[in-house]
Each structure stands twice: as C-alpha cells, then as structure tokens.
Structure 1
C-alpha cells in the first residue's frame, strides 16, 4: 500500500517537477526511456536472481535502488545525475515487476490464488488512486506556504518518499522464500506455459499499446479536454478497477479461471471500440472505465492461472520473460498506434 501510494503520486508528479525546473519534452522523454529500457533489460536477470537467491532478497535490492533514485532526483538538477536517477528507478521497477507476483504467489496454493490476486489487485489500484489525489498538495503549499511551483513539487516528492521506508519495513517482515541455489541453467520445466502465456501477452500488449498508452492524447484531442477531466477519469478508473478486482473470486467460482479470462477478452472488445467511436467525452469515459475494469479482472485471473500452472521454483524466471515480451509488444503497439492516430 505504501509503495502504491508513492507510485500513484510519483508516476505523474515527477514529470511536472522536471518541467517546472526547466526541462523540455525531449529531455523528459529521454529520462523516461532510460527507465523503460533499464526495466526491460533487467527483467530476465532479475528473474534468474530471484529464483536462485530468493525473490524477497532480490526485491530488497530494487527497493534500495528506488530510494537512491529519489534521493538523486531531490539532490541534483543536472541532466547526467537525473539520468542515473532514472536508470536506478528502472532497476527498482524491474525487480518489482518481475518478482512481486511470484513472491506473493508462493504463499498461496490452488484456487485460493484467484482470491489472493484479486485482493492484491484491489490494494494496488486503491493505493494508486489515493496517491493520485495527493497531487492537490502542491497547489496548497503554494497558497499557504508561498512556495514556487518547483519548490512545491520538490517538497511533495520529498515528504511522500518517506513512505518508501514503510514499504521497505513491510518487505523485511515478509517471510523469505527459499532460494533454489541452482546454477543459471537454461532448462525449463514450464516451457509450454512460457510460450503460451508469452503469445497471449504479446497480443494483449500490442492492443493495449496501440490505444491505452495514448488514451490521454486521444481523448484530449478528440474531446478538447485537459488535465482536470483526464485526471478525474484516471482516478475514477483506479477506484472502479480496484472494486472490480474484488469480484475476481466470484467470477472464478462461476465461470472458472479460464472461462473468466475468455469472457473478459470477448467483452473488452466492444468496450474498447466504443471508446474510439463515442460521440461525447462522458460516454467515452464511461466506456473506458468499464473496459479497464473488465481488463483488470481478466489480467488478474491470467496472472493467477500462470502462477498456478508454473513450477514454483521457476515462477520468477517465467514471469521475467513474459514481462519482457509484454513491455516490448506494448512499446511496439504504442509506436504503431501513434502512427495511425
């Protein structure tokens, strides 16, 4: 929860802070690219590290990297230091993207995993939504403390970074998983699962990248809306998605895990299309919220099924490769979608 609150705020506030201290879109784009590339490059290495030395132990490295990244951002305004900051952020993001689900799954078995992943999705989205609301703090600091825009953003990031200590303490309290102690061999018992889920995630990533990554731009251009409307849409989407995740156990019991995934993928297509053809912003927003909620349930069930079918000692390794192909396909989809738009 602490990490989700910080991530919900930091994810968009850092770009506004960089803009306020004088960086243009090109520089901000390069910094964001450094984070993404580092996250992709380290996906498989973190999977190997997690399976050999323990997922919790490897995630501690990621947590320290994120903390160091934020400290560099707060201490320096020169581009080279900020570049190192975003590279370290990529290290931390990669560790959590790859290892959090396998570590979480190691504490559950069988059908209870659907319920556990539903709760995890709810907590993640709810804490992100709460973090996004903290964006009202900078204007308050400017009004009541007389800070400049850049100073208000800096102070908000600095104070919110204290939540990283809570996240680190919570991670230390998690019972360590047992490392396999194996060498980094190429053999995989879960090859079939890896190939099938990779293909499915590639298709989902391409579709999501073509539109979801550019949804802000699309909605703003088509309906002439700006940050207040877009911000409220994303807040509503997070709340709706969090509540939808609580329905995962019911969907699983009624339709089965595979049936729920299939039904979700079928239902999401008309919702996806309705966003594109909606005549007004409220209709597009309602379709977008519904589409995201259905997709959250689908992806939660998909993650649960993958973890359940994968041999425990190989979960981090398999998840690392799937994370890599998912990010790559999402990036390709974004480039293609931008060209189409």
Structure 2
C-alpha cells in the first residue's frame, strides 16, 4: 500500500501512537484523582462541559488558521497546551484544576482539527478510507496500552507506601514533560501539501464549500454528540461512582477497549470494500451498539458491565475513521480546515451541553444518561439513512474532491 511506504505517513503513525499512549496513562487517573479531591458527579460534568466549550473556541478559529498558515504549526501549539494543562492539573488547586480543563479544551479543539487536516494533506496520499483507519488504529492501540498504565500509580503507591493521590500527580507531571519533547520534532519533520489561497482568506470561505452537505452532517453530529456527551464522555466517572473502582481497574477496561479496537480498525478498509462503501459499513457495524448500552443499565456486576462496555464501544467506534473519511471526502482540500472546524463545532457544542446534563442526570439516577444516549443514537442512525441514501447505496473509495 502506497500510504505505508510514505515517510510522512510513518511519522504521523509514530506520533499518534506515542502521544496516545502517554495520554492514555493520564486518562486512567483523571476520575479517581479528581474524586480524591472531592469532585462530585455534578462538578465532574461541569468540568467536562468547560473543556468542551473551550474546545469549541479553539475549533472556531483553528480550521481557518490551518487553511491560512498550515496545520503543522497549529498541531504543535496544541501539544504545548496539553503539557500546560497537565501541569496545572497536577497542582491540586481546585481553581487551577478548572483552568487546566479549559486549557485542555483549547488543545483538544485545535489538535483534533489540525491533526485530521494534516492527515488529509500528506503528499500523494488521498484514499482516506485507507489512511484514516490506520492512523486511528495507531492512536487507539497506543491509548489502550497507556490505559493499562493505570496500574502504575497503584503499584508505586503500594510498593513505596506513598499516598495514591501523590502517585497520580507524579504521572501527570511526567507526561507533561514528555509530550512536547516527542511531538514537536516529529511534527516539524512532516511535509504538508498546503498552499494558502488569497480567495479563501475569509473565516467561512463561502465559495466552493458544499453547504447543503455540511448542513446534513452538522445535524447528525449534533444528535450523536449530545448522546455521547450525556454518558459516554462521563463513563469513567460512571464506573468509579457505581463500582468504586481505582485507576487500575478503570485503566484495564478502557485499555482493553482501545487495544482491541485499534487492532480491528486495521480490518475496516477491507470491510468497506466488501460491504460496499464507508458510510454503509459504519452504519452496519455501529448500530448494534445501541442494544448493549441498554444492557449496561441492567447489571450490578462490574465484570459484566465492563465486558458489555468493551463490546459496545468497539462496535460504535471501530468504524468511526470510515465515517470521518466519508465526511472529509465531501470537502475540497483547500477549504478542509474550515469544513472540519464546522463539523467539529457541531460536535462540541451539544457534547458540552450533554456532559452538563449527563452529570446532573447521573446525580439523580446513575443509569439515566445511558438510556438517553441510546435514544439519541437511534435517531442519529435513522437520520444518516434518510439524509444520505445515495452514499449508502453507492460503492466508492473516499478520495479527495
């Protein structure tokens, strides 16, 4: 495959793997670390909402910046913000913890847009339903391995008789130091197929952007992201609250999800060609996950609940790179930064609202967010079938416009 022989593509694979592994370690400690600081379910939802809304702010401008100055610079800045956010989170000051989530949102918004744009601007590589699954696989496998690192602070704490909250803090500081040292040199060495066009200098770039298609994608993303924000984005706290698990157990479940999903993502390009198109493949694979969401609410066993969650998450997300390939293939390359930004904004606003609603619902009934999410996901898949019937019926490779 041509993509695998590209040095720039290989560097992006390595970057995704290493950074995702480092962030996976930190993700496993977030919920238990914050719980030890006395953060309630409602406050956790508020923190998550703050992160999403700050991500929205950076997403609004980062797409335009990618089209104006190139995506590499924006991606480098996003990793610098990641490091700053982790350092503030390790401070243990409640006000600085809130600030760290705001900065994390800024890095998340700019990083997600610039990372996807850079992946679709690698020279000579334009079959996105092949490229994006491999990149997503490297990220999820790395994240999965990192999440197993949730046992590291537990082992250090028990071995050296150190308070667990201090070992959590140590993990955050170490990752904050390593991330920029790894990411900046790799990104700087990647060649981007980019030319800034004077006629596309406006924030929205109204010419040539397929607004009719974007409107449909935005409507679907609003529904999916609202559902995801209400429960899936709070799932770590759900497990901590319902089953009182530590970062070790939590990291094991989340790590297993990502590791298995990362391996299976390597199969999705071939499945797309067998089943008949990226969008059709995504719907067929992801829709059964809704039933498993409901089943999670019916068990009081952590083992059973975690097994169901692993299966649900794999089904819902393993084909997500194919859906992204479908989205970006509809947007001209020179306007892709802004197109991706608009789609991301449509994700972040409802997700931010959903996290706040989910935190409140969880305080009232711990299972209510999962039930609400299953309803919204059902609506979203129905909308995909109704709004994009031609793409479901048509077999094609997701190439650039």
Among 262, 286, 298, the residue aligned to 2:319: 298
Map 1:1-341; keep pairs closer than 5 Å: 1-18=17-34, 20=36, 22=37, 24-25=39-40, 31-74=47-90, 76-107=91-122, 112-164=127-179, 165-182=181-198, 183-186=201-204, 187-188=206-207, 189-216=209-236, 224=243, 226-227=245-246, 229-255=249-275, 256-277=277-298, 282-335=303-356, 338=361, 341=368
Residues 56-78 of structure 1, C-alpha deviations (whole Å, 9 max, x = no match): 1111221222223334445x444
Match of 2:377 in 1: none
1:192/1:287 CA distance change after superposition, 3 Å: same
Q: 1:92 to 1:213 in 2, by over 3 A?
A: closer
Relative to structure 1, the CA distance from residue 280 to residue 152 in structure 2 (aligned partners, 3 Å threshold; closer, same or farther) is closer
**TM, length-normalised to structure 2:** 0.74
**Residues 266 and 132 (structure 1 numbering): CA distance in 2 closer, same or farther, change over 3 Å?**
closer
The C-alpha deviation readout for 1:147-205, integer Å capped at 9, x for no partner, is 33343223222223343111222111211342425422431422123112112212222
- Deviation at residue 221 of structure 1 after TM alignment: 7.1
Q: CA deviation at 1:88?
A: 2.5
CA contact (8 A) 1:190 1:314 kept: no
More helix by share: 1
The answer to which of 268-277 and 184-193 deviates more is 268-277
SS of aligned partner of 1:209: helix
Query: Per-residue deviation at 1:46?
Result: 0.9
User: Once the 2 structures are TM-superposed, how far is the Cα of residue 143 of structure 1 from its aligned partner?
Assistant: 3.9
Deviation (angstroms), 1:9 = 1.8
SS of the residue 2:288 aligns to: helix
Cα RMSD over matched residues?
3.0
Deviation at 1:216, TM superposition (A): 4.8
Point out the more displaced range, 262-271 or 50-59.
262-271
Contact preservation (8 Å) 2:121, 2:194: no
2: distance between equivalents of 1:168 and 1:248?
30
**Structure 2: any 5+ residue segments left out of the alignment?**
1-16, 369-401
Deviation at 1:94, TM superposition (A): 1.4
In structure 1, runs of 5+ residues without a counterpart are none
Q: Deviations over 1:267-291 (max 9, x none)?
A: 3333333434468655544433222
Distance in 2 between the 1:221 and 1:185 partners? 43
Kindly indicate whether the alpha-carbon contact (under 8 Å) linking 1:109 and 1:308 is maintained by their aligned counterparts in 2: no
> Is the 1:47–1:320 contact (alpha carbons within 8 Å) kept by the matching residues of 2?
yes
| Contact in 1 for aligned 2:53/2:352 (Cα 8 Å) | no
Q: 2 CA distance for matches of 1:115 and 1:166?
A: 26
Give distance in 1, aligned partners of 2:59 and 2:331: 18
Please give the TM-score of this superposition, normalised by the length of structure 1. 0.85
2:64–2:203 CA contact under 8 A, matched in 1: no
